[in-house]
Structure 1
Amino acid sequence: MTEDDHRFAELLAAVSPEVAALVRAADDLVRRTDPAVVRVVWAHQRTVGYGVGPKKMSEHYAYLAAHPKHLNLGCNYGAHLDDGGLLGGTGTNMRKMTVRTVEDLEDPRLVPLLRAAREERLTALGRS
């Protein structure tokens, strides 16, 4: 088991079983959508970052934030993406969706959005 896996297990242990199920499902979705994704877990913050590299502020394109009764799945630069109305928020860059059930992750707009978020980061970093 890697250090990342240990931190992920710590995060899961720190939340309710219901939220842990949401975290697992969302993590699986992101990792299936982008098999090359770099995952960074901050168990103490109950967050997970996903990117084209480990740097949170420049290379990450998506994140999970676990809350007591729900999960936020967001895009670090979602304000610059065509999300089809999926994401909410008013920040300059970040946008998120609230996940209350595993079925929320079946929205057909989600996988294309995650792919677009990844591509946006690669383009912004001159790696596409």
Structure 2
Amino acid sequence: MAAVIVTDGRVLACERSAPPEAAGKWEFPGGKVEPGESDAVALARECAEELGVRVKVGARVGPDVPLAHGRAVLRVFEVTLLDGDEPRALEHTAMRWLAADELDSVPWLPADRPIVAELPALLAADRPA
């Protein structure tokens, strides 16, 4: 489960700190769905834990992406920050807001790359007038 947070034509990307094989790679914030949770509840919980923000979960972004170990899929949703909350890197090494022309400036985790390909149109639709 992952969140695409878009503000002013930019998407939030987060740099992994662990495990060692993923450290230094970039991803969309999120995590696992716990037993009894819906996708939306899990994503809201993960955004609170990782970024210290409250969010409203919106539409799906891209297809399900099979994860390398083959036992799960990455499912991504567009989310909106609530009440002026500002994300903080609570579990990541760093965060960056990336415009469409900056999407290739970070080394994405393999599972996130198919979602990155979906973003230019979404980012263009969110640009301020």
Q: Same fold (TM over 0.5)?
A: no
**Structure with a larger share of its residues in strand:** 2
Q: Which has the higher contact order (CA 8 A, sep 6+)?
A: 2
Higher share of residues assigned helix: 1
TM-score w.r.t. length of structure 1: 0.26
